[in-house]
A and B are shown apart, each in its own frame.
Chain A
Amino acid sequence: MAEATLSIGDSAARSTASPRRGKRRSPFRWVVLALVIVLILGTLFPFLLALVNAVKSGVDYAQNGPLSIPTALDFSALIKFWNLSDFTRKLINSVTISAAVAVFGVLLSLLNAFAIGIGKVRGSRAILIILLLGIMVPQESIVYPLYYMAKATGLYDSQLSVIIVFAVLQSAFGTYLLSSVLGVFPREIIEAAEIDGATRWQVLWMVVVPVLRPTLMVVGTFFFIWTWNEFLIPLVMLVSNNNQTVSVAMGLTRGQNLSDPTMQAAASLLGIAPTIIFFLIFQRTLTRGVVVGAIK
């Protein structure tokens, strides 16, 4: 399943090479295109609204409403929200936590998958099913014991607690993915290395990892973005302003009662911006991996 879904993006591109010949070019096609364009504009309209109103002055908004183009670019709402929410801090926190989870999550997944996919240890199937069930169940069912443990060990309100929790949760999923990739890893390469006297540890790092690098990057990218978007556990674990992530800060924005509409637009835009940047960088990876991310 995993390899099949990982390669989906490519097969979609390939199968289009030969368009059908002799198709009718009726004026009807413009009607269909117009319909789809109306739908896409409807979908993207909220993004546009956030953009337009985040750079509008409060006076302009009061006079011309949310639908007008700003008379002049005004960044005061953006700056105000940035400072109010200490957005630099939130960005640093989110990047730190997500990056650490990506690295440690991939590492854990790799070790597990090496034992399951290459080592074919007994009980592999049972292990994978337990891992999958473990991440499918709602986080509500583990959040309180985690919260209690974090308090007991002094890790409460530390980014480390969130990093540990998500490195493990994401790796459960990564193990499932990488195991099926490693399950079909060419045996001959490993046997050749073993004949040359490589230890298992050397096989992992000098044979498997170099071949697997692109896949590991994809998995790491997913871990990064999924962790970036996580809400419940960071909300519970990170109470102080200084430790919160962008996602948590956004979730608590409504409680702060931003009465100024341009501030709400600015908050939205700042929440959207990192995602758009990831999207532009990782577009292919993201749409390709959507099926494998389905069970999250």
Chain B
Amino acid sequence: MAVGYGAAPTQQRGYYLYLIPGALGFIVIVLGPQIANFVLSFTVWKGVGLPRWAGLQNYQRLLQDDQFWGSMIHTLLFIISMTIIPVLIGLVLAALLFDYIREQFGEQISSLLRAGFYLPQILPVTTAGVLWGWILSPIGVANIVLKAIGLGGLAQNWIGDATWALAAVSLVIVWIQVGYCLVVFMAGLSRIDPSLYEAAQLDGAGWWQRLFAITVPMLAPEIFVVVLTTMIAALKVFAPVFVLTAGGPDNATLVPSYLTYYHFFTTQRVGYAAAIAVVQTVITVALAVIFLRFQSRQEAT
């Protein structure tokens, strides 16, 4: 590139050859299916024969579908367990491990603890589902523990009771998500100049004051990344619901991804399911665009 004679354009053209396998794959596996799904969302189709054009009919039905709106509300509630609670716990824990435990007890204890909190994050979600399904069952460990400590009155059919199921699934999601926030925040903390803390300490700032005055503002980029990525993930929650509750009981834990799966493969209302998937995609892309703009701004600075 440094040498500027006329060969440059042909050189570039040569490089395009290397994009061919990837481009073919992407067109066949991602782009094509995405377009096909979009077109299908305007049709009525049972998966066999030819789809029948239906215009906006699927979308009109969607607006009146209580199951769909219920699933969207559950998504908003899952943002609490996917984003808000893990971010808060993650921030406090990261600050504790980074500027207290590590100072007082050493690097090894601190990284050991971090690894421990991270473990649920790399488990296959379906395995987490089996494990928690067993713990939260009516005769499961959760209820046995409650009885053992004299709180037997609080025992519930956690995932089988419409009142508690959403909270129970949320608990499992928090358990999975805290490690992700913690690790990202601790990585971000290593960027912060320790002298900032020292100066604050000399000025008599307590631990909580330092958390809000230094840690949170300095971690703003990480917090932003974690909030957006986990919100996108909240919109895609599928496996925990599939394994723990299958959307039930009484639709209490229904989420858009499960509803889509259900209509694609159980009721075979393919066009309708495609329309739900399109709505999910549009919201995701909107969030993703914000994320990417932020990322490129970060790179620029």
Residues of A within 8 A of B243 (CB): 250-251, 253-254
B285 touches A133 (CB 8 A): yes
User: For residue A132, which residues in chain B have a CB less than 8 angstroms away from its CB?
Assistant: 288, 292
In the complex, chain B residues whose CB is within 8 Å of the CB of A175: 22
Taking a contact as CB atoms under 8 Å apart, the answer to whether A136 and B34 are in contact is no
B residues less than 8 Å from A212 (CB atoms): none
A-B contact count (CB 8 A): 304
By beta carbon, the residue of chain A nearest B222 is: A291
On whether the beta carbons of B280 and A191 are closer than 8 Å, the reply is no
| Residue B164, interface by CB 8 Å | no
Of residues B93, B140, B242, which shows the largest number of chain A Cβ atoms within 10 Å of its Cβ? B242
Binds A, one of B55-63, B76-84, B107-115, B150-158: B107-115
In the complex, what residues of B have CB within 8 A of residue A119's CB? 11-12, 14-16, 18
Q: Chain B 119-156 against A: per-residue CB contact (8 Å), 1 yes, 0 no?
A: 11111111101111111000111001100100000000
Q: Does any Cβ of B come within 8 Å of A216's Cβ?
A: no
- Is B281's CB within 8 Å of the partner chain A? yes
In the complex, A232→B121 CA distance in Å? Answer: 18
B65 near A: Cβ within 8 Å? no
Q: Are B104 and A25 in contact (CB under 8 A)?
A: yes
Q: Is B265 an interface residue (CB 8 A)?
A: yes
Chain B residues within an 8 Å CB radius of A295: 229, 232, 288, 291
How many angstroms between the C-alpha atoms of A277 and B190 in the bound complex? 28
B40 CB, min distance to chain A CBs, angstroms: 7
Q: A168 — which chain B residues lie within 8 A by C-beta?
A: 22, 25-26, 28-30
A251 close to B145 (CB less than 8 A): no
Q: Which residue of chain A has its CB nearest to the CB of B276?
A: A140
Check if A144 sits within 8 Å of B274, measured CB to CB. yes
Flag whether A15 is at the interface (Cβ < 8 A). Answer: yes
Contact with B19, one of A66, A115, A272, A286 (Cβ below 8 angstroms):
A115
Cβ–Cβ contact A46 & B131, under 8 A:
yes
Is B235 within 8 A of A138, CB to CB? yes
What CA separation (Å) do A25 and B103 show in the bound complex?
Answer: 10
Which single residue of chain B is at the shortest CB-CB distance from A65? B144
B274 partner residues in chain A, CB cutoff 8 A:
141, 144
Output the least CB separation between B280 and chain A (Å).
Answer: 5
Q: In the complex, which residues of chain B have a beta carbon less than 8 angstroms from the beta carbon of A109?
A: 22
**With contact pairs A1-B298, A290-B180 given, residues A12 and B190 touching in the complex (Cβ less than 8 Å):** yes
Nearest Cβ in chain A — how far from B78, in angstroms?
14
Interface centre among B21, B120, B187, B191 (most CB of A within 10 A): B187
Given contacts A43-B178, A65-B144, A290-B183, contact A200 B14 (CB under 8 A): yes
Q: How far is the CB of B237 from chain A (nearest CB, A)?
A: 10
| A287 in complex: contacting residue of B114, B126, B295, CB < 8 Å | B114
The answer, yes or no, to whether A121 is at the interface (CB within 8 Å) is yes
Nearest Cβ on chain A to B184's Cβ, whole angstroms: 6
Chain A residues lying within 8 Å of B46, measured Cβ to Cβ, are none
Contact B30 A142 (CB under 8 A): yes
A172 to B30, CA, bound (A): 10
CA distance A37 to B114 in the complex (A): 11
Whether the Cβ atoms of A232 and B238 lie closer than 8 Å is yes
Q: Give min CB distance, A179 to chain B, whole Å.
A: 11
The answer to whether A187 and B1 have CB atoms under 8 Å apart is: yes
A231 to B125, CA, bound (A): 8
Distance in Å from the Cβ of B219 to the closest Cβ of chain A? 12
CB 8 Å contact bits of B61-94 with A (1 = contact, 0 = none): 0000000000000000000000000000000010
Whether a CB of chain B sits under 8 angstroms from the CB of A238 is no
Q: Which of B166-201 contact A (CB under 8 A)?
A: 175, 178-180, 183-184, 186-187, 190-191, 194, 198
**Residue pair B119, A141 in contact (C-beta under 8 Å):** no
B135 contacts A278, CB within 8 Å?
Answer: no
Q: Is B97 part of the binding interface, using a Cβ–Cβ cutoff of 8 Å?
A: yes
Interface residues in chain A, defined as those with a beta carbon under 8 Å from any beta carbon in chain B: 1, 5, 8-9, 11-13, 15-16, 18-20, 23, 25, 29, 32-33, 36, 39-40, 43-44, 46-47, 49-50, 65-67, 108-109, 111-112, 114-116, 118-122, 127, 129-149, 164-165, 167-169, 171-172, 175, 187, 191, 200, 204, 225, 228-229, 231-232, 235-236, 246-248, 250-251, 253-254, 261, 264-265, 267-268, 271-272, 275-276, 278-279, 283, 286-287, 290-291, 294-295
Instruction: Give 7 closest A-B pairs by Cβ, nearest first.
Output: A119-B15, A271-B127, A145-B33, A142-B33, A251-B126, A250-B126, A264-B134
Beyond the given A142-B34, A229-B123, could you list 5 further A-B residue pairs with CB under 8 A, ordered by the A residue number? A118-B15, A141-B274, A143-B264, A228-B124, A291-B184
